[in-house]
Structure 1
Amino acid sequence: MGRRCTAWWRARGWHGRCPSRHARVAVVAVVLGAAAVVPGEAAFAAGTSPGSYAFEAPGPYAFDENARSVDGATDTTGADRLDVGTTYRSALPQDGKLYYRLELDATSNVYVSVTAVPRAGTTVTPTDNLRVTLQDTDSRSCSYETVGFGSRSPHPIAAWGARETPVPGSSCQGAGTYYVIVERADRDDSSSDAWDLELAPVSEPRLRQTGATEAPEDWNSASPTPLLDEAEHREGGDGFTRAATVGQGVWRDDLRPGQTVFYKVPVDWGQQLYATAELGGSSGGDGGLVAVALDMSLYNPVRARVDDVSVSYNGSQKTGTLDPLPPVEYANRYDNSDQVNGMRFAGSYYLVLHLAEQVGERFGDGPFELTLRTRVSGAAEAGPGYAGSAQPPNLFELTAQDREATNVGGSEASGSSDDTMAVVAVSGIGAGTVLLAVLGVWTLVARRRVGAW
């Protein structure tokens, strides 16, 4: 059933696993319904000016279906407010520089991640960049980051801004108004297409007690022994909010040129994350070389990029591995390198993999086999002791759902599990088209093997 089953249910709002072909399936009800437009399926398309929206067919990225649309202002005057814990939709014109407003307290750390999504058919170059800056009311920068595509293959990219407190010597302290500035930097003027945006402002509460103010210097930086378990099929999601959850193990997916997939790996305080991606060989093609064929980027729970690796491709299988990263520690934020200070939170870390369009030009439409190996090592430790709740809640911790999905401390750690899944699909009213829908309850009993490290 695989990909078709998953795609059918996702189109109707279900994001769980599909039943295996060996599961006992009981269809208990059939009802007459109508085809629905699922929230989040229709993507916003911006007009020629900020705030002018129309609807278009779904693009290559699944935006948060609960995101609010927001207009970016051309200056600070009239900039719309962003509330932490809420996700937003917007769009950035080719020559645009947009402003959004934050009203912050004096003690919380606030992070704003901006995901830029070129529309279908858009041309990009390695010099096309997204820049995100966070400033105070005196135009003094709290932070800025510039992120590029690294190739001529359009795909979602994300950059972030931060207001951290207390930071000695920083002007960005205290309660008040701050601005998020989103722009295209070092762009190719031949491209006039707008980029759709997803903005995700979040907050991290202060600590109850001040801890270490220097990053740990000693940690295990050796590469682990490669995982040799049999691969389990796991289809990647098509956006941050639809990322497929994986724990430690070997996972297989099929990618087509131009496709981007998202996985999330829950990582607790004190644990280390390792990831390797392998692109399978191809029997077709002209034997040429694609310099940047597969890109794997790691983002932390606030969607800030931690590290990435790219591999070239000539039709033979190729592997890319992230450099060893430190255990998750609150004090990692005091290090200067992205690879260390990005590992400052417990929570879901995102692996985003993109297969370049140029692979299809040289080696055909595929699909191409992706093998993803993920390891989470080390015992979980107690958190730093926050004096409040993050927004959104549970952002910097592993929930019971995370642990169940990754088999952390669950019965599957011993090799088996009895899962019961109830699925209810209800259709709504479409654009004058009435279809036959099925309301079913599936009782699934399956035994799945989980490989050990």
Structure 2
Amino acid sequence: MKDRRKVRAGLAAAAALCAVAAAPGTSLADGAAGARAYETHGTRISGSGGDAGAPSLAVGRTYVDSVGPGEKRYYGVTLDTKSAAYVSAVAAPRPGAEVTSYRDGVKVTLESPDGGICGTASPKIETSGVAYPLADYASRQINSGPASCHQAGRYVVTVERQDGSPDPDRWPVELRLMVEPPVKGGATGAAPEGSSSSPSPEAPDGTALPRPGGRGFTDAPTLGTGVWSDQITPGETHFYRVPVDWGQRLSAVAELSADGKDQSTRLLDRALALHAYNPARGLAKRGTPAAQDGESPRTQVATAPVAYGNRYANTGSTVRAMSFSGGYFLAVTLNPPQVAPHLNSPVPVVLRVRVAGDARGGPTYDKDPVKAGFGLTAADRRAAKRHPLAAEGDRMGRSGSGADSKDALRVVGYAGIGTGTVLVLGLGAWTLTARRQASARQRYGPPPAW
């Protein structure tokens, strides 16, 4: 299968080179010039500077605020004694902003009425010079954590941005409170299942269908198992929603087209970042570079199977994040410092998605989880079954119902993307330019988490 992908990558590269030769006036990219920013959606709100007077966040609604360097914003949420709660924050520095790895970031905290820490998360920039949306949540679980976090009342949410950032701009922040209904009969006693460290399912093969990504969580298009194509400008992050049911796991590979015969594609092996998020916008897994010499530059991610008991896992947040079924998210970022010397304007990216494993029944909630933003609709399950052009016999990603392929997702292509999509500088010029500049410029390769 890898050999077939290399052949197709080489053909795609040749087609792109021909398209570039016919396109006059191309020039080198300038950082993240032309990249679209994260698009926030929601009700405008202004967090306070302390507990007193903090505005309230309503369940199921999305809010938009902003936060400056060293600033801490306060909000209030009202919780009962029975439901798990998740307060997410998406902080979105502009593409091309001057940011520093593992220093620039935000911290979201959920405190009980008595001041106890119920949950916290601190997403940070993973690569200097690469500004992208930072998302995660602070949660309250009923059957774990401090006793003070199990009471009903008004809780305090804070979003704090680190001080000393080289980027002086205020960052837009998207806030959302989601409350998961309690399970009938109380705690299920379910144990954690699976591990995110098990071998990744094989990436699907087949014809890539055009599917433009969204500019945020709100407008992310729904994808199922299959091969999809998009165009991403250096510095942009595109979002995609993937339905994942109980017992299933999500894996994905984001890759750039490259000539499989060229042995220096490793110079671009970290040009892409890939992150997976759960339905409550909690970080589920960071992608890792996966290309070998001579292969298309690509990054992959694979999660643990979805199980209710995962929320009680002691093995780390990557397993705890896989605690409910629903629409998971993939976020693909194109690294501007690494790509800019080689390309400008939109770059073709292929996304290979697989929802592996048979779906099964989950816990019985005492209220409709779909209305609360969890779980899957019938349309979600149809979309998740398989890519309409997947190879015959590829049944991974189907639900346990074994429904016929006529229920597969119908995808409508969009204008302007197809075979031979223009690369501003030929893909062959990537590696030539990289060789000439490797010793003269600082390498912006990210740490292993990128």
Q: TM-score range by the shorter chain?
A: 0.7 to 0.9
- Which residue of 46, 59, 84 corresponds with 1:109? 84
- Which residue of 386, 396, 405 corresponds with 1:414? 405
After superposition, the Cα gap between the structure-2 partners of 1:95 and 1:282, relative to the gap in structure 1 and judged at 3 Å, is farther
Tell me how far apart the structure 1 counterparts of residues 197 and 269 of structure 2 sit (CA, whole Å): 31
Q: SS at the partner of 2:147? A: coil
- Which residue of 47, 66, 76 corresponds with 1:72? 47
- Taking structure 1 as the reference length, the TM-score comes to 0.72
After superposition, the Cα gap between the structure-2 partners of 1:274 and 1:259, relative to the gap in structure 1 and judged at 3 Å, is same
After superposition, the Cα gap between the structure-2 partners of 1:233 and 1:183, relative to the gap in structure 1 and judged at 3 Å, is same
1:150 maps to 126
* Stretch deviating more after TM superposition (402-411 or 357-366): 402-411
Tell me how far apart the structure 2 counterparts of residues 211 and 362 of structure 1 sit (CA, whole Å): 54
2:344 maps to 365
Tell me how far apart the structure 1 counterparts of residues 70 and 408 of structure 2 sit (CA, whole Å): 54
Deviation of 1:94 after TM superposition, in Å, equals: 1.6
Q: SS at the partner of 1:215? A: coil
After superposition, the Cα gap between the structure-2 partners of 1:356 and 1:110, relative to the gap in structure 1 and judged at 3 Å, is same
2:298 maps to 319
**Percent identity over paired residues:** 34
Are 1:344 and 2:320 matched, yes or no? no
1:21 maps to none
1:350-402 CA-partner distances (Å, limit 9, x unpaired): 00010012134221205322111111122221120111234x71522111221
1:48-81 CA-partner distances (Å, limit 9, x unpaired): xxxxxxxxx99511222xx111111111010000
1:69-126 CA-partner distances (Å, limit 9, x unpaired): 1111111010000011111010111221010001111111110110001135532111
1:128-178 CA-partner distances (Å, limit 9, x unpaired): 011111112333211111111112111111121111113264321110111
Task: Tell me how many residue pairs correspond in the alignment.
Answer: 359
- Which residue of 279, 282, 304 corresponds with 1:301? 279
Deviation of 1:420 after TM superposition, in Å, equals: 12
Give the AA of the match of 1:375. R
Tell me how far apart the structure 2 counterparts of residues 333 and 393 of structure 1 sit (CA, whole Å): 21
1:230 maps to 207
Give the AA of the match of 1:136. S
Are 1:382 and 2:361 matched, yes or no? yes
Confirm or deny: 8 A CA contact 1:289 1:312 kept in the other structure.
Answer: no
Q: SS at the partner of 1:251? A: strand
Select the structure that is richer in helix: 2
Name stretches of at least 5 consecutive residues in structure 2 with no aligned partner: 1-33, 386-397, 413-450
Tell me how far apart the structure 2 counterparts of residues 344 and 76 of structure 1 sit (CA, whole Å): 31
1:254-289 CA-partner distances (Å, limit 9, x unpaired): 221011100111011111222112122389xx9994
2:193 maps to 216
Confirm or deny: 8 A CA contact 2:275 2:330 kept in the other structure.
Answer: yes
Q: SS at the partner of 2:319? A: helix
Deviation of 1:403 after TM superposition, in Å, equals: 2.7
- Which residue of 181, 195, 199 corresponds with 2:175? 199
Tell me how far apart the structure 1 counterparts of residues 343 and 40 of structure 2 sit (CA, whole Å): 29
Confirm or deny: 8 A CA contact 1:107 1:166 kept in the other structure.
Answer: no
Confirm or deny: 8 A CA contact 2:383 2:408 kept in the other structure.
Answer: no
Deviation of 1:290 after TM superposition, in Å, equals: 6.0
Confirm or deny: 8 A CA contact 1:288 1:362 kept in the other structure.
Answer: no
1:178-222 CA-partner distances (Å, limit 9, x unpaired): 11110113x444321100010011000111123224313689933
After superposition, the Cα gap between the structure-2 partners of 1:417 and 1:155, relative to the gap in structure 1 and judged at 3 Å, is closer
Q: SS at the partner of 1:113? A: strand
Confirm or deny: 8 A CA contact 1:331 1:344 kept in the other structure.
Answer: yes
After superposition, the Cα gap between the structure-2 partners of 1:213 and 1:268, relative to the gap in structure 1 and judged at 3 Å, is closer
Confirm or deny: 8 A CA contact 1:125 1:188 kept in the other structure.
Answer: no
Are 1:87 and 2:66 matched, yes or no? no
Tell me how far apart the structure 2 counterparts of residues 75 and 157 of structure 1 sit (CA, whole Å): 23
Give the AA of the match of 1:264. R
2:75 maps to 100
Deviation of 1:292 after TM superposition, in Å, equals: 4.5
Are 1:264 and 2:274 matched, yes or no? no
Are 1:393 and 2:371 matched, yes or no? yes
2:112 maps to 136
Tell me how far apart the structure 2 counterparts of residues 164 and 144 of structure 1 sit (CA, whole Å): 12
Give the AA of the match of 2:170. A
Confirm or deny: 8 A CA contact 2:355 2:384 kept in the other structure.
Answer: no
Tell me how far apart the structure 1 counterparts of residues 226 and 113 of structure 2 sit (CA, whole Å): 48
Tell me how far apart the structure 2 counterparts of residues 110 and 258 of structure 1 sit (CA, whole Å): 33
Give the AA of the match of 2:363. P
1:400-423 CA-partner distances (Å, limit 9, x unpaired): 2213434567999536879799xx
Select the structure that is richer in strand: 1
